[in-house]
Amino acid sequence: MDQTMKVLCTICARAGSRGVANKNLRLINGLPLIAYSLRQAVESKLFSQIAVSSESPEIRDTALAHGATFVVDRPAEMASDTAPKLPAIRHCVETTEREFGQFDIIIDLDATAPLRIAADIIGALELLKQTNAENVITGTPAHRSPYFNLVEQDEDGIVHLSKPLKDVVTRRQDSPKCFDMNASIYVWRRDALLNNPSLFVSSTRLFEMPRERSLDIDSQADFEMVEWMMSKGSAK
């Protein structure tokens, strides 16, 4: 753990899922999905506490068995299919702080992103510390560019570039660098998380991760892909 600051890890894991039922507890290569994020958090040695927020007693018990140091009973209104994630993270932070006092940095790990490694978590925190950023998100180079080969369709069915530039871009590598957010790691200075309604603020930075560690599980096909990658060692 970084001795100069108090860092909290949050992991928010709902029982419900429209894509894959109870996916956070589903076994993948012999471990519950949520266990991978917990093990990565422990391995990073960054955290004063590792808190898991869930409305499910089974998820909370599983989390404690795999490295969580504190669990939070997530309110039902924050655990629906339509509930945004940021309020659940804030609730988890505030509940944990009532028990352990105030933290300086919050790092949220998405439970459905098991292919990240501890070095990714460490790197995202280092980017925050080395800059004036209030928060850091993670992403991977985008498949498509809105300046070159990503189009929008208007109400008349006509398509056009999503973000055309004044000077026409004829090669993708000449367009501004774009990223797909991978929803793997979010890092905040405490006040930036608690006092901003949006994820994006004026100083938000991005920590780049390779595509092979950026898959977010949201379907049966994603599960099968991750299992295959783990068996082949592709995510190392």
Q: Could you give the angle at the alpha carbon of 60 between the alpha carbons of 55 and 66, nearest 5°?
A: 150
pLDDT, tens digit, for every residue of 150-190? 999 999 999 999 998 888 877 777 788 999 999 999 999 99
A 10 A CB-CB count for 189 gives 20
pLDDT at 165: 86
According to CATH, the topology of domain 7-141+178-230 is: Spore Coat Polysaccharide Biosynthesis Protein SpsA; Chain A (3.90.550)
pLDDT exceeds cutoff 50 at 1: no
pLDDT, tens digit, for every residue of 114-146? 999 999 999 999 999 999 899 999 999 998 899
Question: What is the C-alpha to C-alpha distance for residues 121 and 138, in angstroms, rounded to an integer?
Answer: 10
Helix-helix angle 33-44:118-130, to 10 degrees: 50
DSSP 47-90: -SEEEEEES-HHHHHHHHHTT-SEEEE--GGGSSTT--HHHHHH
Residues of the chain with CATH 3.90.550.10: 7-141+178-230
pLDDT, tens digit, for every residue of 48-79? 999 999 999 999 999 999 999 999 999 989 98
Percent of all residues in the chain with a pLDDT value above 70, rounded to a whole number? 96
Per-chain mean pLDDT for the chain: 93
pLDDT exceeds cutoff 80 at 234: no
Structure tokens at 166: 């004044």
pLDDT at 141: 94
pLDDT exceeds cutoff 70 at 3: no
Q: Say whether 159 sits in a helix, a strand or coil.
A: strand
- Nearest Cα residue to 125 out of 191, 187, 50: 187
Q: Which residue has the higher pLDDT, 83 or 1?
A: 83
User: Do residues 33 and 112 make contact, with C-beta atoms less than 8 angstroms apart?
Assistant: yes
Beta bridge partners of 70: 51
